[in-house]
Amino acid sequence: MASSFDVRAVQTTVYDGQKPGTSGLRKRVKVFQQEHYTENFIQATLDAVSPDGGAQGTTLVVGGDGRYFLQEAVQKIVKIAAGNKVTKLIIGQHGILSTPAASNLIRKLKADGGILLTASHNPGGPDNDFGIKYNVSNGGPAPESVTNRIYERTKALTTYRLADLPDVDLSAVGTHQFANFTVEIVDSIDEYVALMHRLFDISLIRNFLRARKDSFSVLFDGMHGVTGPYAHRIFVKELGLPETSVMNAQTLPDFGGGHPDPNLTYAHELVERVRRDSVSFGAASDGDGDRNMIISHDWFVTPSDSVAIIAAHAHRLPYFNQGQVKGLARSMPTSAALDRVADRQGLEMYEVPTGWKFFGNLMDAGQLSICGEESFGTGSDHIREKDGLWAILAWLNVIAHISEERGTTVGIRDLMDQHYQSYGRNYFTRYDYEEVDSASANKVMDVLQDHIQSQKLVGQALGCDTAKFTVAQLDNFDYTDPIDGSVSRNQGVRIVFDDSSRIVFRLSGTGSQGATIRLYIDKYEGDASACFLDAQVALKPLIQVALEVSQLTALTGREKPTVIT
């Protein structure tokens, strides 16, 4: 053990634009590779760990999704953490931790926080994205008070503190001691799998999958992101599924050249195989493992429906089965399918702005158990991040449970049918216009803002002769956090019609190039016989209204969205 180590104050100059967004600082790898760029941001993050300054004496979890530049970033964090008198770093083996696994470790080990190295679902590799995100002691993304503190520090730095330490061997589990500074390399998967065992009836799912192997097949797509090894452990080792039930399971620094975002566009390989091989249950997760998609050969489950299904069947999940569901929540653009479940079950329902961090306070206050976002995020208060594998296991647990109750194999489509018959359906779609130049995107938002200002559309019937929608409300969503009273303004333009249909527009907070306009459409259908149309068909008149009201095509030159989900 080294009795001490040298710490140098390295002279640096400020980089502009190190403002953490919804989910940390996300930039091109080449930006992070600039001299001192990554070091500056790490130093600023450590400075912001406590309000009165500094990370001295703290224990932090560190890990990332395996993308290019991960190892270099971890080694920098080790040296700067030591230079800042951090007591202990707990690092996933090979620097790997899925975002949900990191959130769990922070909570389980009662760490003061964690540094997550991920750009989530953005492509990886030398020409793509990297990211650094700070999570606080509840395991959730840092609130704005902390990210603002980080940003303020990035603007004022003159030096960062670098300890003269050798690179740490990240490949083996074990402890490295450098004077008073400890680096512990932990298995990336064990604690997470242990958590899943506490939440779900793994043996029920295993028995179901074994007994119904001829009528119920599973295919998981790791998209070469971080979840492959977690999924292999759970699906193959724990649930006894064949090796072939997990595809793209090897974590690669460039995610195999793909775009590791589980949706119908980017997970097309899975979608094609599920359809071709008539797979009963297909699922995918994103680069860092917090998003999920669920499909079958005959159905695509929208994320808005997915969270509603999990909530409707929560009593079938061990973690919730004694009436422990405390409340439900969704982000504002997410469809209101979940609201109908809350209503039926007499549960409190919360509508928060886009961003998982907004669920954290409600969970910490014991008022929220299950929540979801249309952006393929689903989760519960077991951790403070959304959790892709959790959602997939929740579905499998529900399916296994109902199949056992009924003595027959219940598939995804059966569950959806029954849900729509019982609750009706919220048709939902999202159109993304990616990499629009910022000036044009702002013009679209200005047009909408003008409509809000004038309120002239209120009371008007928009649409075509066969489908008219009367505007009931037109505003920009503001949110007051019920726990700490903090206010978040301008979280998305809403046009609400008198039949409760909604058009929502907002600019993405996660892109790294240009602007992304998101258009969300939600329309309720209460007549069960009309619940099985293609969403694009059912929503066409409203989409038309949205495009007309916003002048999107004229202002951006985009005839079509980049991605439809």
- Residues interacting with ligand G6P, by CB under 6 A? 22-23, 120, 331, 354-356, 373, 375, 377, 508-510, 518
All residues at 6 or more sequence positions from 453 whose CB lies less than 8 Å from its CB, including other chains: none
User: In terms of CB distance, is 278 or 486 closer to ligand G6P?
Assistant: 486
Least spacing, CB of residue 264 vs ligand G6P, in Å: 17
The one of Zn ion, ligand G6P, none whose footprint includes residue 40, by CB under 5 to 8 A per kind, is none
User: In terms of CB distance, is 115 or 209 closer to Zn ion?
Assistant: 115
All residues at 6 or more sequence positions from 243 whose CB lies less than 8 Å from its CB, including other chains: 236
Q: How many other CB atoms are found less than 10 A from the CB of residue 345?
A: 15
Least spacing, CB of residue 220 vs Zn ion, in Å: 16
CA distances from 52 to 68, 296, 442, 532 (A): 34, 51, 38, 56
**Is 120 an annotated catalytic residue?**
yes
Which residue has tokens 């589980």?
Answer: 262
User: In terms of CB distance, is 122 or 550 closer to Zn ion?
Assistant: 122
User: In terms of CB distance, is 185 or 329 closer to ligand G6P?
Assistant: 329
For 70-139, give the DSSP string. HHHHHHHHHHHHHHTT--EEEEEEEEE--HHHHHHHHHHTT-SEEEEE--TTS--STTSEEEEEEEETTS
Pairing status of strand 425-436 against strand 515-525? antiparallel
Q: CA 229 to CA 86: how far, in whole Å?
A: 30
Least spacing, CB of residue 135 vs ligand G6P, in Å: 11
User: In terms of CB distance, is 417 or 481 closer to ligand G6P?
Assistant: 481
Q: CA 147 to CA 446: how far, in whole Å?
A: 27
Three-class SS state of 219: strand
The one of Zn ion, ligand G6P, none whose footprint includes residue 208, by CB under 5 to 8 A per kind, is none
Structure tokens at 303: 């994320």
Contact letters (x/-) for Zn ion, 264-303, by CB under 5 A? Answer: ----------------------x-x-xx------------
User: In terms of CB distance, is 154 or 354 closer to ligand G6P?
Assistant: 354
Nearest Cα residue to 239 out of 6, 397, 468: 397
CB 399 within 8 A of CB 411: yes
271 alpha-carbon distance from chain centroid: 20
Please report, as a single letter, which amino acid is at residue 271. Answer: V
Using CA atoms in the order 479, 480, 482, 484, what is the torsion angle rounded to 10 degrees?
Answer: 130
Least spacing, CB of residue 8 vs ligand G6P, in Å: 36
DSSP state of 180: T
- Structural element, H or E, at residue 454: helix 438-454
Please report, as a single letter, which amino acid is at residue 369. Answer: S
Least spacing, CB of residue 22 vs ligand G6P, in Å: 5
Least spacing, CB of residue 296 vs ligand G6P, in Å: 24
The one of Zn ion, ligand G6P, none whose footprint includes residue 122, by CB under 5 to 8 A per kind, is none
Using CA atoms in the order 23, 27, 29, 31, what is the torsion angle rounded to 10 degrees?
Answer: -140
Pairing status of strand 129-136 against strand 25-28? antiparallel
Least spacing, CB of residue 141 vs ligand G6P, in Å: 7
CB 542 within 8 A of CB 501: yes
Catalytic residue among 23, 98, 103, 120: 120
The one of ligand G6P, Zn ion, none whose footprint includes residue 22, by CB under 5 to 8 A per kind, is ligand G6P
The one of ligand G6P, Zn ion, none whose footprint includes residue 561, by CB under 5 to 8 A per kind, is none
The one of ligand G6P, Zn ion, none whose footprint includes residue 83, by CB under 5 to 8 A per kind, is none
User: In terms of CB distance, is 286 or 339 closer to Zn ion?
Assistant: 286
Nearest Cα residue to 92 out of 82, 80, 79, 77: 77
Least spacing, CB of residue 99 vs Zn ion, in Å: 6
Pairing status of strand 461-464 against strand 467-476? antiparallel
User: In terms of CB distance, is 60 or 371 closer to ligand G6P?
Assistant: 371
Phi-psi region of 492 (alpha: psi -120 to 50; beta: other; left: phi over 0): left
The one of ligand G6P, Zn ion, none whose footprint includes residue 313, by CB under 5 to 8 A per kind, is none
User: In terms of CB distance, is 23 or 103 closer to ligand G6P?
Assistant: 23
Q: How many residues bind Zn ion (CB under 5 A)?
A: 5
Least spacing, CB of residue 120 vs ligand G6P, in Å: 5
- Using CB under 5 A as the binding rule, whether residue 373 contacts Zn ion is answered as no
- 63-122 residues near Zn ion, rule: CB under 5 A: 120
All residues at 6 or more sequence positions from 513 whose CB lies less than 8 Å from its CB, including other chains: 435
Least spacing, CB of residue 188 vs ligand G6P, in Å: 20
The one of ligand G6P, Zn ion, none whose footprint includes residue 355, by CB under 5 to 8 A per kind, is ligand G6P
User: In terms of CB distance, is 290 or 387 closer to Zn ion?
Assistant: 290
For 252-263, give the DSSP string. -TTGGGS----S
The one of ligand G6P, Zn ion, none whose footprint includes residue 286, by CB under 5 to 8 A per kind, is Zn ion
Q: What positions carry a catalytic annotation? A: 120
Question: What residues line the site for Zn ion (CB under 5 A)?
Answer: 120, 286, 288, 290-291
